[in-house]
Amino acid sequence: MNFLRKDRGAVLKGAVVLVTGNAIAQAIPFLAMPVLTRLFDAHAFALYALLFSAAGLLGGVSALRFDVAVSVAKTREDASVLWFVALYVIAAVVLLLVSAAICVPELLRRAGLDALGSAWYLVPTVGFGMAFTQLNSYWMLRAGALNGVSLVKLAQAVVFVASSLILGWQGAPLGGMMTAFCLAVLVCSIFSFTLSQRVGFPAGRPTWKRCISVVRQFRDFPVLGALPAILDAVSLLLPLFAISTRFSVVDAGQFALVRQAVAAPLSLISAGVGQVLLRHVSDLHHRGGSVGTAIRSAGIALAAIAIPSALFLGFLGPSAFSLVFGAKWGGAGHLASVLAIPFCLRFVVSGLSTTLPALRRLGWVAIWQGAYFASIVGLVALPGLDFDRFIFGYAIVETMLYLIYAGLIARSVQMVGEEQRA
């Protein structure tokens, strides 16, 4: 019983540190949003969202999940080698994509990035910075430096908001938010690397032979983990790109504001919980502890945030958006009311989603992600949909697929309990 109380306290303390840091980091741009929506129009928000989404896709998956392996490796030596492996893979993937874009410019149009014009090169540049920052964050997470992870996100929020306000007031309305985001990523890359060096940063590059040995040991992360991560990121991008190409850039801007004002704050909080659970559930599983207790505690805490949020957005979304962000953003409020339930459901399930990788159920993740990707692609490919029907279809797909994911998590925890009792 003392062991269980200790574990419960550890995950709660870690979650509180990361969630508090994430909440503060997200509160800064959220509080500044009423000013930003008056300095920048929907077109500017759409361009920023395209850069943020595309670079985020690259930053999130270019390490092929070797960054995640850093935090769950049993020994510090393996984690150190994995850090370098992840860095090499990130650099190789970014260089490969840049070469492909230069040699085949048509790829930019097919990827939905033609709206960025000559600024497309910012996607691989910013994507590398985001991937590098994420890699350093996983190293700090392994070292228990949760405050460092939160400080990096706080720094990104402060730099982005301050730069956006300055550029907006100086009369750079169209590309101002993109420039501010690039500066924020640069600062966070340097800051995260500096903090990582203070918590036992890997000393010396490993030999290629050692790298290959560790890659073989953790091959299930790129083989079974990278593809679902890529599909997940692409699935999140597709609706925004589909709206900007099939309907209008203004509609994409309205949709982008909903993500920025609603989905982004929720995702940062759930990401903090997920990062803590990834390491904690992995430890509990190795030691035969109660995984179900940790998952239930985290799920209850996430639901306590999600349910009031969904009710508020569902009933007061349009009027709240018009009041806070200005009359021209009433359409975003309507979108928020439609997407309230799926966004809040995703918030809860995403916070618990690292349970499956921690329990090495990567095959389940791959199957679910394939189904989610196919559903989003099918929705985007449907002909004759107007904008409202597209949004309703998107809400239905999100709700159904994340309910299925919740069922997979519950089944996985149940199987672990059965194995421990056997």
Among candidate residues 70, 214, 59, 215, the one with its CA nearest the CA of residue 139: 70
Q: How confident is the model at residue 416 (pLDDT cuts 50, 70, 90)?
A: low
Q: Token pair 């672990």 is at which residue?
A: 416
Q: Give long-range contacts, CB 8 A cutoff, 24+ apart: 251-255.
A: 251/331, 251/387, 252/42, 252/46, 252/49, 252/50, 253/41, 253/42, 253/43, 253/44, 253/45, 253/46, 253/49, 254/42, 254/329, 254/331, 254/332, 254/335, 255/49, 255/332, 255/335
Q: How close are the terminal C-alpha atoms of the chain, in Å?
A: 20
Q: CA torsion, points 367, 373, 375, 376, in degrees to nearest 10?
A: 160
Structural contact between residues 24 and 230, judged by C-beta atoms closer than 8 angstroms: no
How far apart are the C-alpha atoms of 341 and 343, rounded to whole Å?
Answer: 6
DSSP string, 126-165: HHHHHHHHHHHHHHHHHTT-HHHHHHHHHHHHHHHHHHHH
Q: Is the pTM of this model over 0.85?
A: no
Domain range holding 15? 2-421
Q: What is the pLDDT of residue 163?
A: 92
**For all residues of the chain together, what is the average pLDDT?**
80
Residue 206 binned pLDDT confidence (cut-offs 50, 70, 90):
confident
Average pLDDT over residues 316-337: 84
Return the C-alpha torsion angle 325, 329, 330, 331, nearest 10: -150
Rounded CA separation 52/225 (Å): 22
The whole-number pLDDT of residue 65 equals 82
Looking at residue 283, its pLDDT comes to 67
Q: Is the dihedral of CA 57, 62, 64, 70 positive or negative?
A: negative
Q: What is the tens place of the pLDDT at every residue in 50-64?
A: 888 888 888 887 888
Condensed to tens digits (0 to 9), the pLDDT of residues 126-176 reads 999 999 999 999 888 888 777 888 889 889 989 999 999 998 888 766 678
Distance CA 305, CA 23 (A): 12
State whether residue 72 is helix, strand or coil: helix
Q: Enumerate helices (H) and strands (E) in the chain, giving the number of each.
A: 18, 0
Q: Is the pLDDT of residue 202 over 90?
A: no
**pLDDT at residue 367 greater than cutoff 90:** no
Confidence of residue 7 (pLDDT cuts 50, 70, 90): very low
DSSP state of 325: H
Q: How many domains does the chain have?
A: 1
Closest residue by Cα to residue 280 from 192, 361, 195, 354: 354
Residue 1: band (very low, low, confident or very high) from pLDDT cuts 50, 70, 90: very low
Distance CA 233, CA 230 (A): 5
Q: How confident is the model at residue 31 (pLDDT cuts 50, 70, 90)?
A: confident
Q: What is the mean pLDDT of residues 224-238?
A: 75
Q: Which two tokens stand for residue 107?
A: 């790829």
Do 310 and 344 contact (CB within 8 A), yes or no? yes
Count Cβ atoms below 10 Å from residue 55 Cβ, excluding itself: 24
pLDDT digits (tens, 9 = 90+) for 243-276: 877 887 788 888 888 887 887 777 777 777 776 7
φ, ψ dihedrals at 251, nearest 5°: -60, -40
Q: Examine the pLDDT at 12 and tell me if it is beyond 70.
A: no
What radius of gyration, in Å, describes the C-alpha atoms of the chain?
Answer: 21
pLDDT at 310: 87
